[in-house]
Chains A and B, each alone.
Chain A
Amino acid sequence: MSATPLHDIWEASASQPFLPSIGKSAQFTVGFTLLSIAVLLTGLFGLNNTLKNLPLYGLPASLAFGFGAVYVICAVGVYV
């Protein structure tokens, strides 16, 4: 065993740098689009407030808002 095991892990992983799913330059576009979709779907849900529309509009709106919020806050410099 080497005296610097973690350094060996670092060297061995040289071919696998961290790759983000969304790069820094695209964060705002992606986040803003998702937030817009969320606002739009929330509006549609508000127009017709029924149980059927909850999964139809509410669910995708929440999902879009969840990811959109994370990307927008990263895009403005609060890296979460």
Chain B
Amino acid sequence: MRLLRLAVLAIASLVSADVNLTHESRNILPSTFKPAQNFRNVNLVRNINLEKSYARETINVVVENVDAQPQSEYFLPFEQSSLGRIGGLEVRDKKDPEKAGFLVDVVEVDPYSSTEYYKITFPSALPSKEQLTLSITYYTLSALSPLPAQMGQTDKQYVLHTFSAYAPSAYITSKQKTKLKLPGVDVPDATTLPAELNADGKEDPQKQGTTYTYGPYNELPAGAIQEVSVRYEFTKPLLHAKLLERDIEVSHWGNNIALEERHWFHNRAATLKNHFSRVTYQQSAYYNPPTPALKEMRFPLSIGSMDPYFVDEIGNVSTSRFRSNIREANLELKPRYPMFGGWNYSFKVGWNNDLKGFVRRAKGASDQYVLKVPFFEGPKQAEGVEYERVVTRVILPEGAKNVHFETTVPLVSNATGLHPTFMDTIGRTTLTLTAINMVDEFRDRDLIVTYEYPFAARFRKPLVIFAGLLAVFAVSWVVGNLDVSIGRKQKAT
């Protein structure tokens, strides 16, 4: 099963590097589609945060309905090449951040079009001439590429980030600027733009500590692009997970929730110019300089976690530590080898918890239960982790039905099915949820599942064994009392 999955993964990565380009949640629109010019971006400020190994972009934009009719659909364009790397897109009303995010989905114009759109649906239509402030957040995976792509084992790593100085927009933008937040001040290259473009007549970028600003710019047409790039020091791993599979197994009989995560990691950092030198590595191990190699991972687990394990393809990995007390439960793992640029490592970790903190009996309904768990956990790294695909499987007790779920993580698919395992007669009800292009900032997002677990289903396991054994006794009585003696039957007197 595991081998098969690895094979599938290998084939999938061979077929296309961007697995997520062909994803599930797209509405196909006619190829003539072009968003109607119903809106105007009155003012736009875009923040690109590059402090981690992925780019987090926040676009705060005041949109105005310039149409005569009320409008509720706002489109956000992306290049086809970058769409497959964008994830976690959330839109909120900046003036009312407490409210839930707006409905967002990907629309596909046609497979060969260079531009595709995210469609943002407002909860209520925006009347004509009215304004609304949107706060759009998204993450771009594989956004940093090491330059030079090869380096010595103890060198500093520089990464290149290429983006457009103009924010992506399907509408006319009256005023905008782009702010970059870099992790440090060592920035050897940043594309300069002439002062004529800038509204204030200054040459871009304007530097202020680790913040670089492009803009402000005056009115720009829809789809305007000005490609710029910035190269800066980032001597940290660029940790990229091709796949994360997470199993959440609920056992009412055992009073236990078992969690397991299987990670397939790849380090996108610069590869080693020469062979790996163990001597250099040992020498530097003492003063612990910044390095693009992954040496350690920390999993902060929920309090009360127990029985952790850390296993890779070879077997148990003994370089792990579990610190558990009443205030915290930290799992500290060292991979079997330091993971340098271009290297892979896959492993699984798992742990148990008492069910008490995760499952409650729903109020007002008998036999109904509520489960609340993090959608995924994974390591918490200072430099961040990006996940191409996260598949979370909730394995509920056998016979659970009426399963509903709720999460703030943007999902691409969900399915319910059966998972047959130990002592099952029909298999346990499972809920499989898939999210793509996730980053570790989503690791604390909760998944809430409600399910009905009727009385009859609860006693299925012991009663099946009971019935089986009773049948064995009955058969043994029948067989034991068969008269198989040879010769004349003795007359009963």
Is B473 located at the chain interface by the 8 A CB criterion? Answer: yes
Q: A13 and B255: CB pair below 8 A?
A: no
Is B225 located at the chain interface by the 8 A CB criterion? Answer: no
With A70-B423, A70-B465, A80-B423 known as contacts, the answer to whether A16 contacts B253 (CB < 8 A) is no
Is B313 located at the chain interface by the 8 A CB criterion? Answer: no
- Type the 1/0 row for A4-39, where 1 means its CB is closer than 8 Å to any CB of B: 111101101111111110111001000000000010
With A16-B360, A58-B470 known as contacts, the answer to whether A24 contacts B423 (CB < 8 A) is no
Is A63 located at the chain interface by the 8 A CB criterion? Answer: yes
Minimum distance in angstroms from A22 CB to a CB of chain B: 7
A17 to chain B: which residues have CB within 8 Å?
A: 356-357, 359-361
Bound together, the chains give a CA A41 to CA B252 distance in angstroms of 28
Bound together, the chains give a CA A1 to CA B406 distance in angstroms of 15
A61 to chain B: which residues have CB within 8 Å?
A: 469, 473
Is B42 located at the chain interface by the 8 A CB criterion? Answer: no
* Residue in contact with B473 in the complex, picked from A16, A24, A62, A78, CB distance below 8 Å: A62
> Which of B358, B370, B461, B473 gathers the greatest number of chain A CB atoms within 10 Å?
B473
Is A73 located at the chain interface by the 8 A CB criterion? Answer: yes
A3 to chain B: which residues have CB within 8 Å?
A: 99-100
* Residue in contact with B448 in the complex, picked from A6, A20, A65, CB distance below 8 Å: A6
Is B362 located at the chain interface by the 8 A CB criterion? Answer: yes
* Residue in contact with B254 in the complex, picked from A10, A50, A79, CB distance below 8 Å: A79
A77 to chain B: which residues have CB within 8 Å?
A: 307
Chain A residue nearest to B470 in the complex (CB): A62
B356 to chain A: which residues have CB within 8 Å?
A: 17-19
Interface SS majority for chain B = mixed
Q: How many residues of A contact B (CB 8 A)?
A: 45
Bound together, the chains give a CA A63 to CA B464 distance in angstroms of 10
Q: A80 and B363: CB pair below 8 A?
A: no
Q: B462 and A79: CB pair below 8 A?
A: no
Q: A63 and B466: CB pair below 8 A?
A: yes
- Type the 1/0 row for B429-466, where 1 means its CB is closer than 8 Å to any CB of A: 00000000000000000101110000000000111111
Q: B249 and A18: CB pair below 8 A?
A: no
* Residue in contact with A6 in the complex, picked from B405, B422, B481, CB distance below 8 Å: B405
Q: B423 and A9: CB pair below 8 A?
A: no
* Residue in contact with B370 in the complex, picked from A13, A63, A66, CB distance below 8 Å: A13
Is A54 located at the chain interface by the 8 A CB criterion? Answer: yes
Is B287 located at the chain interface by the 8 A CB criterion? Answer: no
Q: A74 and B254: CB pair below 8 A?
A: yes
Bound together, the chains give a CA A77 to CA B254 distance in angstroms of 9
- Type the 1/0 row for B245-262, where 1 means its CB is closer than 8 Å to any CB of A: 000010111111010000
Chain B residue nearest to A15 in the complex (CB): B363
Q: B470 and A70: CB pair below 8 A?
A: no
Is B477 located at the chain interface by the 8 A CB criterion? Answer: yes
- Type the 1/0 row for B170-203, where 1 means its CB is closer than 8 Å to any CB of A: 0000000000000000000000000000000000
Bound together, the chains give a CA A51 to CA B446 distance in angstroms of 57
Q: A71 and B360: CB pair below 8 A?
A: no
> Which of B362, B449, B467 gathers the greatest number of chain A CB atoms within 10 Å?
B362
Q: A13 and B253: CB pair below 8 A?
A: no
With A65-B466, A69-B465, A80-B423 known as contacts, the answer to whether A9 contacts B363 (CB < 8 A) is yes
Is B369 located at the chain interface by the 8 A CB criterion? Answer: yes
Q: B477 and A23: CB pair below 8 A?
A: no
Chain B residue nearest to A77 in the complex (CB): B307
- Type the 1/0 row for B352-380, where 1 means its CB is closer than 8 Å to any CB of A: 10111111111110000110100000000
Bound together, the chains give a CA A3 to CA B92 distance in angstroms of 14
Is B129 located at the chain interface by the 8 A CB criterion? Answer: no
B464 to chain A: which residues have CB within 8 Å?
A: 66
With A5-B406, A24-B255 known as contacts, the answer to whether A49 contacts B481 (CB < 8 A) is yes
* Residue in contact with B477 in the complex, picked from A54, A67, A78, CB distance below 8 Å: A54
A63 to chain B: which residues have CB within 8 Å?
A: 462, 466
Q: B470 and A23: CB pair below 8 A?
A: no
With A5-B406, A49-B480, A66-B463 known as contacts, the answer to whether A73 contacts B361 (CB < 8 A) is no
Q: B462 and A9: CB pair below 8 A?
A: no
Beyond the given pairs A4-B100, A9-B450, A12-B364, 9 more chain A to chain B contacts, judged by CB atoms under 8 angstroms and listed by A's residue number, are: A9-B448, A12-B363, A18-B355, A58-B474, A66-B466, A70-B253, A70-B462, A74-B256, A80-B253
Question: 5 A-B pairs, CB-CB below 8 angstroms?
Answer: A49-B481, A66-B464, A70-B462, A79-B251, A79-B254
Chain A interface residues (CB < 8 Å from chain B): 3-7, 9-10, 12-20, 22-24, 27, 38, 42, 45-46, 49-51, 54, 58-59, 61-63, 65-67, 69-71, 73-74, 77-80
The 4 lowest CB-CB distance pairs between A and B, nearest first, are A79-B254, A58-B473, A66-B466, A79-B251
